[in-house]
A and B are shown apart, each in its own frame.
Chain A
Amino acid sequence: MTTIFGVPTMALFGQILIGLINGSFYALLSLGLAVIFGMLNIINFAHGALYMLGAVTAYLLLNYAGIGYWPSLIIAPIVVGCIGIVIERVFLQWLYKLDHLYGLLLTFGLALIIEGVSRHYLGSAGLPYTLPQSLAGGHNLGFMFLPNYRAWVIAVSLVVCFGTWFVIERTKLGAYLRAATENPSLVRAFGINVPRMITLTYGFGVALAAFGGVMAAPIYNVSPNMGSELIIVVFAVVVIGGMGSILGAIVTGFGLGIIEGLTKVFFPEASATVIFVIMAIVLLVRPAGLFGRGT
């Protein structure tokens, strides 16, 4: 058997694939963060909590309303997106003109409240969410056993990520959005309702997080901590990719997933820290991030 640094190449393929799967979640979440930061200039620390709310909504829908995975994939992001819109209207809209720090503090506080309340009602050990029957099982690829659900995660997140990138960078709507962040008063002069557009953008970013939460529900435990466990890594991804850069968030999300996966083979003890080491290095060499436009 051929080996690389003592690890069979076949095993390595498996690990790279698993890295890609984790990277899908990083990409989905960091994409929402990047959209919100790029358009609203808000560092949305509540993103992890809203991701968790997406999973919890799916859980509640299944167990109390009998609504399964597929409808949840649409309903949960809409429900959580509406919560996001309320948050934006009630709190965030007053903060755009202030320092980033205020938005960060507010969203951080919201995250603590959302998580605390969920922990009170749901406990922290997590709740089981059944895998949808149509995606159960898996295929033996020769070098690894790939569960169907994980394959589905990669496919969906690729589609969603590049769809979002396309809308924002390549369509008229995206052009309005980008223009509104550059110069809101000018865009308003053209008769476009900028505040509503910003509200909807926040709602969309939050809905993306909730969508990620529903995707995660069947494989990770639905637990109040699931967001805070992920959010730190996701922030590192956004910083490495370049704050506000959508393409950067996507590429870095997948890339770091792979690097983390490989670390789990060669030096598993460091797998929780490797992303932060990379972040430190990137910040030293390119302070604006890999895809960031320097300020």
Chain B
Amino acid sequence: MKRLLGLAALAALLACGTAQAQQKQMDVKIGVLTDMASLYADDTGQGSVAAAKLAAEDFMKSHPNVKVEVVSADHQNKPDVGTGIAKQWIDVDHVDMITGVPTSSVALAVMQVVKEKNKALIDSGAGSSDITGSKCNANTVHWTYDTWMLANGTGKAIVKTGGDTWFFITADYAFGHALERDTAAVVEKNGGKVLGKVRVPINTSDFSSFLLQAQQSKAKIIGLANAGGDTINAIKQGAEFGIVAGGQKFAGLLIFAPDIQALGLKAAQGLMFTETFYWDMNDGTRAWTKRWDKERNAPGKVPSMNHAGVYAGTMAYLEAAVAVGSAKDGKAVVDKMKTMTFKDPLFGTTTVRVDGRGIHNAYLFEAKKPEESKYPGDLYKLRATIPADEAFRPLKDGGCPLVKG
């Protein structure tokens, strides 16, 4: 009897505690871990920090009892630097959620940290489909895009329009390898052939040697399994070496709007690529972009889908954290996210699958010709919409241990 009384008292205390927590202020600290200065900095970097700040601002406006703080750091595209910062953030600075994290090698390493310390990673920037595949874990959500989605969107479209022989120029690390593998699979499945590939160190300034090898392969399509500054340099130098004039075509497998801006439409026109967000899609995205521009404070820049993903992913995470009542248990919040449906002006409707994959529409875009561009930042035309249920790898094919059966 005495024991029962004790239990009842404990239960009452706990109930009281949660009731109080709902009224009391809830603190959430978010860390934007990103590439601030190197080849991915324009596609992620300060733009991601600005996006997270906008999300914090918006969320605090609608939830006055939640206090969201945003911190940021540069992982320099190095896994050891990234995990070091992540550990310090969680242990010393009490960061509850890490977002951004481009560069798959860093993301795969930080995933382990958040799992070990039971916090959350809402990734918007890394590409490898292994993040929700064989290496998935219960503390990670992969929001924006992945290499399977890119391969499926861009690769398929190009093979179908006659580009059936491929040569890959691949960034030599986790992301490039995953993108090359996923794209090669799509090419071969659709009846195409891979003639060769060359693995190039990340952040290479001169691609001429690799372009020459691609030229000699006589492949119709040169698939660029790289990103950011690497893609820009390859395409730019390809024009100089007469790649396109010689009848070969580039397939930029991962291209962001800031890359197209940097290339200029003259060099970029006609490129086809897949993304999940474009700033000029509708009134909602345009309004958000205006606010982002102000926060980012770099006139003339357009946001990439990574920036949009940091905003939308952070909003979704915060909603789930409020539903759970605390942000301290990372797995609990991520589990909650997987039961919810999120709506935002940037991605429309997003759900999160059991393997951590964020599911939303993807779009096949084509870079405009210079004469088609009406105003600064007018870069894309929409070629096709890939519905959410077709855009990402089927759940059963990923090999994620969280998927049962």
**Which residues from chain A sit less than 8 Å from chain B, CB to CB?**
8, 11, 14-15, 18-19, 21-22, 115, 119-120, 123-128, 131, 138, 144-145, 147, 149-150, 219-221, 223, 225-226, 229-230, 261, 264-265, 268-269, 271-273
Contact = CB atoms under 8 A, between A and B. Distances in A.
Given A18-B208, A125-B232, A220-B236, 7 more contacts: A21-B208, A22-B206, A120-B298, A123-B258, A123-B301, A124-B42, A220-B233
Contact of B38 (A21, A124, A144): A124
Given A144-B212, A145-B215, A272-B201, A124 B41 contact: yes
Interface residues of B, number: 43
Interface in B28-54: 37-39, 41-43, 45
The 5 closest A-B pairs by CB, nearest first: A125-B42, A272-B201, A264-B209, A125-B262, A128-B264
B263 interface: yes
Contacts of A14: 212
- The interface centre, meaning the residue of A8, A19, A145 with most chain B CB atoms within 10 A of its CB, is A145
Contacts, number: 111
Contact of A219 (B38, B240, B258, B266): B240
A268 B200 contact: yes
Contacts of B199: 268-269
Contacts of B240: 131, 138, 147, 149-150, 219
A183 B212 CA distance: 51
Given A11-B216, A138-B242, A225 B37 contact: yes
B43 A221 contact: no
B267 A128 contact: yes
8 contacts: A15-B212, A115-B37, A125-B41, A144-B215, A226-B205, A229-B203, A265-B213, A268-B200
B236 A128 contact: yes
A138 B39 CA distance: 29
A11 B242 contact: no
Contacts of B258: 123, 125
Interface string B137-180: 00000000000000000000000000000000000100000000
Nearest to B240: A147
A229 B45 CA distance: 18
B18 interface: no
B65 interface: no
A225 B38 CA distance: 7
A271 B204 CA distance: 9
Nearest to B206: A22
A15 B204 CA distance: 16
B345 interface: no
B229 interface: yes
Given A123-B298, A125-B232, A229 B209 contact: no
B387 to A, nearest CB: 31
